[in-house]
Amino acid sequence: MAILAVNAGSSSLKFSLHPLLGGQVQPHVLSGNIQGLEPGGSPEMGWQYRGAKHHRALAAHEGASVFAVALDSLRELIQGLDGAPAIDAVAHRVVHGGGEFTASVCVTEEVLSRLARFNSLAPLHQPHNLEGIRRFRTAMPQVPQIACFDTAFHAAMPEVDYAFALPRELRAQGVRRYGFHGLSYQYIMSVLQEKTLRGRGRVVMAHLGNGASLCAAQDGTSVATTMGFSALDGLMMGTRSGSLDAGVLLYLLEQGWTHAQIERLLYKQSGLLGVSGISADMRRLREEAAEGSADAQCAIAQFTHRVVRETGALTACLGGLDLLAFSGGIGENDVLLRQQVCERLAWTGLHIDAQRNRAADGKQAWAIHAPDSRIEIWVVPTDEGRVAAREAAALLESTQALQQACAP
């Protein structure tokens, strides 16, 4: 038996297969990504199984849905594995659960309808997450589809952090801070608490990738985060602006900008891409910066500055810092960024070990602090799929237990 964890995007589907052993979710045995799922796209599937990488183009027949072709190919791949496991449930990453969904749920039509109300708060993610669930429900009607929310980890944040300085009637309508990247933070926290006692203290976690945020946690619970009402707030990101003076939006409206133009600006034309004018990919910007591109250097410096600035703010919220953790595509792989961030935070008593920092390979949790550092520093490769699988398994177990208890 196994849980299939998926993350459906606008043109891709990430997946990982997690066996159940003694009721416990195991690390994935199969993982991959199907790309080219936009209408008229040319789907391709890449996957890793038993340490070997594979890739193939998927044949989409004329008139056939590329997503349906992708799901058929994924099922064939799983069924072709040695000792092909039965799928107990499909666990879906859903970015926004609002204030209504603070724990994972089994998806029904009513749940889908309620979740669709948050589409405008995460337009790059939410509509595609929900469309993925609909497709899987059609393809696997007998398999429970479980929605696991990025916002759930932050549900216990104190009001002083989640409330905006706006009239209460707007808060009653759901205008408040929610926080995101919760599945990632939940995984990072679980690893830290296994590895070090400091994981139960004052922790700042940095999920740095195309989407980027920071989270402050005390005793494993989120108490503050940089993302807010939508996935636009906080840090500068790949193509998203991060925190922005609301007066800029008023100015753009006065200049005749439409809602669609502003949405595209903030979600797709800003961040590393907008500042550099080159790319949203930090790896490409590092290459350009090394060759002397002032625009690439400016974008990297601004990104680094925002991470340092917001880490300082969250440290103040915690009343000090015991541990700083890096994760996400940039956080796990960009040696220079980690070094620069930590050097600028040295006033806290945080000291990075340059050799250990270079040795972090993004494949395992790795401590990179120097022996004299008052604060521990870790690199923790995240695994949102495994958290989603755990959530789904726990929900299925509790549902079965409830059904048995209520049986005549």
pLDDT in tens, the chain (408 residues): 899 999 998 889 999 999 998 889 999 999 999 998 887 788 899 999 988 999 999 887 766 688 888 899 999 999 998 887 889 999 999 999 999 999 999 999 999 999 999 998 888 889 999 999 999 999 999 999 999 999 999 999 999 999 999 999 999 999 999 999 999 999 999 999 999 999 999 999 999 999 999 999 999 999 999 999 999 999 999 999 999 999 999 999 999 999 999 999 999 999 999 999 999 999 999 999 999 999 999 999 999 999 999 999 999 999 999 999 999 999 999 999 999 999 999 999 999 999 999 999 988 999 999 999 999 999 999 999 999 999 999 998 887 654 554 444
Catalytic residues: 150
pLDDT for position 406: 46
Q: Please give the single-letter amino acid code of residue 25.
A: V
The tokens 């961040």 sit on which residue?
A: 271
Spell 27-41 as b/e; 16+ CB within 10 A means b: ebbbbbbbbbbeeeb
Q: Where are the beta strands (DSSP E) in 234-357?
A: 323-327
Task: Say if residues 193 and 220 touch (Cβ distance below 8 Å).
Answer: yes
d(CA 315, CA 308): 11
Tens-digit pLDDT profile for residues 314-363:
999 999 999 999 999 999 999 999 999 999 999 999 999 999 999 999 88
Collapse the DSSP code of 214 into the 3-class scheme (helix H, G, I; strand E, B; otherwise coil) and give the result: strand
Domains of the chain: 2-149 (3.30.420.40), 197-384 (3.30.420.40)
Q: How many residues does this entry show for the chain?
A: 408
Q: Which residue has the tokens 């990025």?
A: 150
Task: Give the model's pLDDT for residue 121.
Answer: 87
**Looking at 71-180, which runs of residues are DSSP E strands?**
87-94, 105-106, 145-149
What is the pLDDT at residue 398? 84
Residues 6+ apart with CB under 8 A from 315: 202, 204, 216, 321, 348
Residue with tokens 């995984």: 187
